[in-house]
Structure 1
Amino acid sequence: MQSAYKVLSVVGLLAISVLWGTIVNAQEPIKGQHIYVCNQGEATLSVIDVATNELVETIDLQELGFSKNAKPHHAIADADGSHWYVTLIGENKVLKFNRDNELVAQAELEVPGLMAMHPTEDILFVGRSMSAVNPPQSFGVVNRGGMEVEEEVDLFFSRPHALATSPDGKFTYVASLSANQILARNTETGETELTMLEGNNHVFVNFAISPDGQTMVATGQVSGKLLVFDLSDPLLPEVTDTISVNAMPWHPVYAPDGNRVYFANKGANTVTVVDMESRTVEKVIEGTGLAQPHGAALSADGKYLYVTNNNMDGTYNPEGKSEKDGLTGTVVIINTETLTIEKVIETGMNSTGIGTSNW
């Protein structure tokens, strides 16, 4: 009898153990943050693990049936990291990958460029590529679930490029490369307002909006300026500051606390750090690996800044390689506490857009 009792006890403990394991596994947090990099010159995508700051996978788009001229340009991911998205300029496609980097769906959209994500609805806003000579005067609204293009919203200007969505998802902003024009759109009602700025054309590369939704910045490729907008009236952004920076400021990103803005200077091989409280340049970062810097993304805790580099002019020369081996793009990892370069990861030819979870 005692033996039978012991057997039943062991079986019971095993059952409890299995059940507890199932519960714990069910409650495990979502895997850590990944950084996604577009290598536009060779039709590959690089995946970096934020926990280790290591390159963990390179995805060859040709192996997935796309051409060597696919031109992956920009990436962005869902807040929970379950899926991520890439625009292909050369294929007129927006791709959707799952967490395991498997292609699960795609949408067709002419010369797609930058993307912005609605924070609460299953919507992806998709702009047009800077490299397109005469792109459609519109931006796409894509349902992320089924990857269906729900709408192409008409604009009032040519060559749309810069694109951002407010943190609450209520407003979307698009700017022209060919004129100082910014369209603000209420995403719920469809109401729009066009803002036109005086003076020479800045050639707006992209926007970034503060976490509290009160301020927006825009980088001017030609003017070498960072423009600061007050969004008190979301449909009518008002310029409150213009900050002179190094040549060709590119894609800006806000720190999680809103106190800083970071962006690359493609024409100066530097990264600029702007103090948003004083509205002044806090530091200009230089160093190995910064070679035509392009895009910027942050770790969720704001500790690391990841900057892609085109390196199409050979400014960065990988150790042990010659020019005949090809020009290697990089991701430079900057510690935002010390504002110094911690690591350089070699990615692929002409690394351009970079993205991560919509934290």
Structure 2
Amino acid sequence: MKTIPVDKNPHEAVISPDGKQAYVTCSGGDSLLVFDNETMTLTKRVTHPDFRFPHGLAITRDGKRLLLASTRSGKFFVISLPSLEVKQVCATGQEAVHMVALTPDERFAYIANNKTNDISVIDVATLKEVERIDVGIHPDGIAFLMR
């Protein structure tokens, strides 16, 4: 067990497929933090002008891309791993882009839009919205169940 000082409001976390890194959004710190799980150390702090209340995260099975939803900017990001280079910034046209989940086949990203009460379905290959699904009030968490 170890305590590591971080930016304000660490919120969501995903673990790399190999288990070696943890990626954590710090909503109040407008940052993405990367931790080495073996040494339990903070290895990198990533910022971007449009990381405004970064929130949801999803990582591809091959560990090469990280998707990040930024609540206050209304954008989501495609971040290359392990370089942590922001490859693409995509505006959803929605308010409060909150959580993100990849479909099991990783063809689509579903993004919960907290203020507009809907889900944006993004084609991962083109990074274009292909559908918007109305849901209940303030959608938050999102996940897929394999059957």
* TM-score scaled by length of structure 1: 0.39
Q: Quick one: which of 217, 225, 239 aligns to 2:42? A: 239
Residue number in structure 2 paired with 1:296:
100
The CA distance in 2 between the partners of 1:202 and 1:261, in whole Å, is 21
Q: Quick one: which of 180, 195, 215 aligns to 2:21? A: 215
Identify if the C-alpha distance between structure 1 residues 358 and 204 changes in structure 2 by more than 3 Å, giving closer, same or farther: farther
Q: Quick one: which of 72, 84, 97 aligns to 1:279? A: 84
2:133 counterpart SS class: strand
- Following TM superposition, by how much is the alpha carbon of 1:196 offset from its aligned partner in structure 2, in angstroms? 2.2
Q: Which amino acid aligns with 1:244?
A: T
Structure 1: state its 5+ residue gaps: 1-192, 312-327
| Deviating 4+ runs (over 2 angstroms) | none
- Following TM superposition, by how much is the alpha carbon of 1:281 offset from its aligned partner in structure 2, in angstroms? 0.8
- State the number of aligned residues: 145
Q: Which amino acid aligns with 1:301?
A: D
- Equivalent residues in 2 for 1:184-203, closer than 5 Å: 193-197=1-5, 201-203=7-9
Q: Which amino acid aligns with 1:223?
A: G
* TM-score scaled by length of structure 2: 0.90
- Following TM superposition, by how much is the alpha carbon of 1:358 offset from its aligned partner in structure 2, in angstroms? 7.0
1:211 counterpart SS class: coil
1:194 counterpart SS class: coil
- Equivalent residues in 2 for 1:108-147, closer than 5 Å: none
Residue number in structure 2 paired with 1:270:
75
Residue number in structure 2 paired with 1:101:
none
The CA distance in 2 between the partners of 1:257 and 1:196, in whole Å, is 28
1:17-60 deviation line (CA, Å, top 9, x unaligned): xxxxxxxxxxxxxxxxxxxxxxxxxxxxxxxxxxxxxxxxxxxx
* Structure that is richer in helix per residue: 1
Higher Cα radius of gyration? 1
Identity of aligned residues (%): 26
1:121-177 deviation line (CA, Å, top 9, x unaligned): xxxxxxxxxxxxxxxxxxxxxxxxxxxxxxxxxxxxxxxxxxxxxxxxxxxxxxxxx
- Following TM superposition, by how much is the alpha carbon of 1:354 offset from its aligned partner in structure 2, in angstroms? 0.9
- Equivalent residues in 2 for 1:316-355, closer than 5 Å: 328-355=116-143
* Contact map agreement 1:224 1:247 (CA 8 A) in 2: yes
* Contact map agreement 2:110 2:122 (CA 8 A) in 1: yes
Identify if the C-alpha distance between structure 1 residues 287 and 253 changes in structure 2 by more than 3 Å, giving closer, same or farther: closer
C-alpha RMSD of matched pairs (Å): 1.7
Q: Which amino acid aligns with 1:309?
A: N
Structure 2: state its 5+ residue gaps: none
The CA distance in 2 between the partners of 1:310 and 1:224, in whole Å, is 18
